[in-house]
Protein backbone atom coordinates (compact mmCIF):
# COMPACT_ATOMS: atom_id res chain seq x y z
CA UNK A 1 0.00 0.00 0.00
CA UNK A 2 1.40 3.38 -0.93
CA UNK A 3 0.97 6.59 0.97
CA UNK A 4 0.85 10.02 -0.60
CA UNK A 5 3.32 12.36 1.08
CA UNK A 6 2.89 16.06 0.41
CA UNK A 7 6.26 17.42 -0.61
CA UNK A 8 6.52 21.10 0.18
CA UNK A 9 10.27 21.23 0.36
CA UNK A 10 11.96 23.27 -2.30
CA UNK A 11 13.88 21.03 -4.64
CA UNK A 12 17.41 22.27 -4.46
CA UNK A 13 19.97 21.47 -7.04
CA UNK A 14 23.02 19.60 -5.87
CA UNK A 15 25.02 22.83 -6.08
CA UNK A 16 22.55 24.86 -4.04
CA UNK A 17 22.39 22.16 -1.41
CA UNK A 18 26.17 22.11 -1.07
CA UNK A 19 26.25 25.93 -1.07
CA UNK A 20 23.92 25.82 1.94
CA UNK A 21 26.35 23.45 3.65
CA UNK A 22 29.21 25.86 2.94
CA UNK A 23 27.19 28.70 4.44
CA UNK A 24 26.45 26.63 7.54
CA UNK A 25 30.14 25.84 7.90
CA UNK A 26 31.07 29.53 7.60
CA UNK A 27 28.35 30.51 10.10
CA UNK A 28 29.48 27.87 12.58
CA UNK A 29 33.02 29.28 12.39
CA UNK A 30 31.73 32.89 12.53
CA UNK A 31 33.32 33.63 9.18
CA UNK A 32 31.67 36.06 6.76
CA UNK A 33 32.14 34.99 3.13
CA UNK A 34 32.21 37.30 0.10
CA UNK A 35 32.25 36.11 -3.52
CA UNK A 36 33.92 38.45 -6.02
CA UNK A 37 33.10 38.03 -9.70
CA UNK A 38 34.39 39.94 -12.75
CA UNK A 39 35.68 39.79 -16.29
CA UNK A 40 39.32 38.80 -16.81
CA UNK A 41 41.45 41.83 -16.02
CA UNK A 42 38.79 43.97 -14.31
CA UNK A 43 41.00 44.13 -11.24
CA UNK A 44 39.76 41.43 -8.85
CA UNK A 45 43.16 40.77 -7.31
CA UNK A 46 44.10 44.47 -7.21
CA UNK A 47 40.84 45.25 -5.42
CA UNK A 48 41.41 42.40 -2.98
CA UNK A 49 44.92 43.69 -2.25
CA UNK A 50 43.57 47.21 -1.65
CA UNK A 51 40.87 45.74 0.59
CA UNK A 52 43.38 43.68 2.56
CA UNK A 53 45.54 46.78 3.04
CA UNK A 54 42.57 48.75 4.41
CA UNK A 55 41.05 46.00 6.57
CA UNK A 56 44.03 44.08 7.91
CA UNK A 57 44.13 46.07 11.18
CA UNK A 58 40.44 45.39 11.93
CA UNK A 59 39.72 41.97 10.47
CA UNK A 60 41.40 38.60 10.28
CA UNK A 61 41.19 37.88 6.56
CA UNK A 62 41.51 34.83 4.36
CA UNK A 63 41.40 34.48 0.58
CA UNK A 64 40.33 31.73 -1.80
CA UNK A 65 41.73 32.22 -5.30
CA UNK A 66 39.87 30.64 -8.20
CA UNK A 67 42.00 30.09 -11.30
CA UNK A 68 41.31 28.24 -14.50
CA UNK A 69 44.94 27.20 -14.93
CA UNK A 70 47.68 25.96 -12.64
CA UNK A 71 49.29 29.34 -12.07
CA UNK A 72 49.70 31.01 -8.70
CA UNK A 73 50.13 34.63 -9.86
CA UNK A 74 47.15 35.89 -7.84
CA UNK A 75 47.61 33.54 -4.88
CA UNK A 76 51.28 34.58 -4.61
CA UNK A 77 50.29 38.25 -4.40
CA UNK A 78 47.80 37.52 -1.63
CA UNK A 79 50.27 35.35 0.29
CA UNK A 80 52.86 38.12 -0.09
CA UNK A 81 50.33 40.40 1.62
CA UNK A 82 50.44 38.02 4.59
CA UNK A 83 47.08 36.34 4.09
CA UNK A 84 46.15 32.69 4.48
CA UNK A 85 45.22 31.74 0.92
CA UNK A 86 44.02 28.61 -0.81
CA UNK A 87 44.04 28.31 -4.57
CA UNK A 88 41.37 26.42 -6.47
CA UNK A 89 42.56 25.33 -9.89
CA UNK A 90 39.35 24.63 -11.82
CA UNK A 91 41.25 22.69 -14.48
CA UNK A 92 39.88 24.76 -17.33
CA UNK A 93 36.39 25.19 -15.88
CA UNK A 94 34.94 28.65 -16.26
CA UNK A 95 33.51 29.21 -12.77
CA UNK A 96 33.78 28.17 -9.16
CA UNK A 97 30.99 26.02 -7.76
CA UNK A 98 29.97 25.00 -4.26
CA UNK A 99 31.87 21.69 -4.49
CA UNK A 100 35.12 23.50 -5.21
CA UNK A 101 34.59 26.00 -2.39
CA UNK A 102 33.76 23.16 -0.04
CA UNK A 103 37.16 21.63 -0.84
CA UNK A 104 38.89 24.97 -0.25
CA UNK A 105 37.09 25.55 3.07
CA UNK A 106 38.39 22.21 4.30
CA UNK A 107 41.93 23.53 3.81
CA UNK A 108 41.32 26.95 5.36
CA UNK A 109 42.14 27.73 9.01
CA UNK A 110 38.58 29.03 9.56
CA UNK A 111 39.08 29.55 13.29
CA UNK A 112 41.69 32.20 12.45
CA UNK A 113 39.53 34.02 9.87
CA UNK A 114 36.73 36.56 10.25
CA UNK A 115 36.24 37.62 6.63
CA UNK A 116 36.81 35.20 3.76
CA UNK A 117 37.23 36.73 0.31
CA UNK A 118 36.59 34.36 -2.60
CA UNK A 119 37.99 35.45 -5.96
CA UNK A 120 35.97 33.71 -8.64
CA UNK A 121 37.29 32.81 -12.10
CA UNK A 122 37.41 35.73 -14.55
CA UNK A 123 34.11 35.36 -16.39
CA UNK A 124 30.98 37.54 -16.62
CA UNK A 125 28.62 34.68 -17.44
CA UNK A 126 28.73 31.32 -15.64
CA UNK A 127 29.74 32.37 -12.10
CA UNK A 128 26.30 34.03 -11.87
CA UNK A 129 24.64 30.60 -12.02
CA UNK A 130 26.58 28.86 -9.25
CA UNK A 131 25.91 29.86 -5.65
CA UNK A 132 28.92 29.19 -3.44
CA UNK A 133 27.37 29.72 -0.03
CA UNK A 134 29.03 33.07 0.63
CA UNK A 135 27.01 35.70 2.51
CA UNK A 136 27.15 38.27 -0.25
CA UNK A 137 28.24 38.72 -3.82
CA UNK A 138 30.16 41.52 -5.48
CA UNK A 139 30.88 42.25 -9.13
CA UNK A 140 33.85 44.32 -10.24
CA UNK A 141 33.30 46.06 -13.58
CA UNK A 142 35.98 48.28 -15.08
CA UNK A 143 35.80 51.44 -17.16
CA UNK A 144 37.72 50.10 -20.21
CA UNK A 145 35.29 47.17 -20.54
CA UNK A 146 32.71 49.68 -21.69
CA UNK A 147 29.41 51.14 -20.55
CA UNK A 148 27.23 48.53 -22.29
CA UNK A 149 28.17 45.48 -20.20
CA UNK A 150 25.04 45.49 -17.97
CA UNK A 151 22.93 45.23 -21.13
CA UNK A 152 25.05 42.44 -22.65
CA UNK A 153 25.77 40.34 -19.55
CA UNK A 154 22.70 41.02 -17.41
CA UNK A 155 22.65 37.88 -15.27
CA UNK A 156 25.84 38.65 -13.39
CA UNK A 157 24.45 41.99 -12.13
CA UNK A 158 21.24 40.51 -10.77
CA UNK A 159 21.20 39.53 -7.13
CA UNK A 160 24.59 41.01 -6.28
CA UNK A 161 24.98 43.21 -3.20
CA UNK A 162 27.68 45.60 -4.40
CA UNK A 163 29.06 46.70 -7.74
CA UNK A 164 32.55 48.15 -7.96
CA UNK A 165 33.51 50.10 -11.08
CA UNK A 166 37.31 49.95 -11.17
CA UNK A 167 39.90 51.84 -13.24
CA UNK A 168 38.20 55.20 -12.80
CA UNK A 169 41.61 56.77 -13.47
CA UNK A 170 41.16 55.77 -17.15
CA UNK A 171 37.86 57.62 -17.51
CA UNK A 172 39.41 60.68 -19.22
CA UNK A 173 40.80 58.47 -22.00
CA UNK A 174 37.75 56.32 -22.73
CA UNK A 175 34.29 56.93 -24.19
CA UNK A 176 32.27 55.74 -21.22
CA UNK A 177 28.75 57.08 -20.68
CA UNK A 178 28.27 56.81 -16.91
CA UNK A 179 24.54 57.60 -17.06
CA UNK A 180 24.00 54.80 -19.62
CA UNK A 181 25.97 52.35 -17.47
CA UNK A 182 24.09 53.29 -14.28
CA UNK A 183 20.73 53.05 -16.09
CA UNK A 184 21.59 49.51 -17.18
CA UNK A 185 22.40 48.54 -13.61
CA UNK A 186 19.31 50.19 -12.14
CA UNK A 187 17.03 48.16 -14.41
CA UNK A 188 18.65 44.91 -13.25
CA UNK A 189 19.36 45.67 -9.62
CA UNK A 190 18.04 48.98 -8.30
CA UNK A 191 19.28 48.44 -4.72
CA UNK A 192 22.88 47.50 -5.44
CA UNK A 193 25.56 49.52 -3.63
CA UNK A 194 27.77 51.22 -6.22
CA UNK A 195 31.45 52.11 -5.76
CA UNK A 196 33.49 53.80 -8.47
CA UNK A 197 37.13 53.22 -7.51
CA UNK A 198 40.66 53.20 -8.85
CA UNK A 199 43.01 50.58 -7.46
CA UNK A 200 45.82 52.55 -9.07
CA UNK A 201 45.18 55.89 -7.33
CA UNK A 202 43.18 54.61 -4.34
CA UNK A 203 40.17 56.80 -5.27
CA UNK A 204 36.92 55.45 -3.81
CA UNK A 205 38.55 52.56 -1.95
CA UNK A 206 37.66 54.03 1.48
CA UNK A 207 33.94 54.18 0.61
CA UNK A 208 33.98 50.57 -0.61
CA UNK A 209 35.81 49.36 2.49
CA UNK A 210 33.42 51.27 4.79
CA UNK A 211 30.47 49.50 3.14
CA UNK A 212 32.23 46.13 3.41
CA UNK A 213 32.91 46.61 7.13
CA UNK A 214 29.30 47.56 7.75
CA UNK A 215 28.06 44.59 5.72
CA UNK A 216 30.38 42.12 7.43
CA UNK A 217 29.31 43.46 10.85
CA UNK A 218 25.66 42.60 10.09
CA UNK A 219 26.53 38.95 9.60
CA UNK A 220 28.88 38.81 12.57
CA UNK A 221 26.30 40.04 15.08
User: Toward a copy of itself, which CB reaches closer, 123 or 137?
Assistant: 123
Given the complex with a copy of itself, which of 91 and 109 has the nearer CB atom?
91
Which residues here bind a copy of itself, judged by CB under 8 A? 39-41, 67-69, 71, 73-74, 92-94, 121-126, 129, 142, 144-146, 148-149, 151-155, 167, 169-170, 173-174
Q: Tell me the closest approach of the beta carbon of residue 217 to a copy of itself, in angstroms.
A: 33
Nearest distance from C-beta of residue 177 to a copy of itself, angstroms: 13
Q: Which three-class secondary structure string do you get for the chain?
A: CCCCCCCCCCCCCHHHHHHHHHHHHHHHCCCEEEEEEECCCCCHHHHHHHHHHHHCCCCCEEEEEEECCCCCHHHHHHHHCCCCEEEEECCCCCCCCHHHHHHHHHHCCHHHCCEEEEEEEECCCHHHHCCCCCCEEEEEEEHHHCCCHHHHCHHHHCCCCEEEEECHHHHHHCCCCHHHHHHHHHHHCCCCEEEECCCCCCCCHHHHHHHHHHHHHHHHC
Q: What is the nearest approach in angstroms of a copy of itself to the Cβ of residue 214?
A: 30
Residue closer to a copy of itself, measured from CB, 57 or 173: 173
Shortest Å, Cβ 51 to a copy of itself: 18
Cβ proximity to a copy of itself, 6 vs 172, nearer residue:
172
Q: How far is the CB of 148 from a copy of itself (least distance, A)?
A: 6
Closest to a copy of itself by CB, 152 vs 220, is 152
Amino acid sequence: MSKIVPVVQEIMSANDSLAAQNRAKLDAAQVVGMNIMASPGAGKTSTILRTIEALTADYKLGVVEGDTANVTIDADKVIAAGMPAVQINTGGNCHLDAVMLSGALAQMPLAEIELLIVENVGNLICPASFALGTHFNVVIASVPEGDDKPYKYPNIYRGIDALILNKMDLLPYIDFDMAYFRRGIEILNPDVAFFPISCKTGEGVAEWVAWLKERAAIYRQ
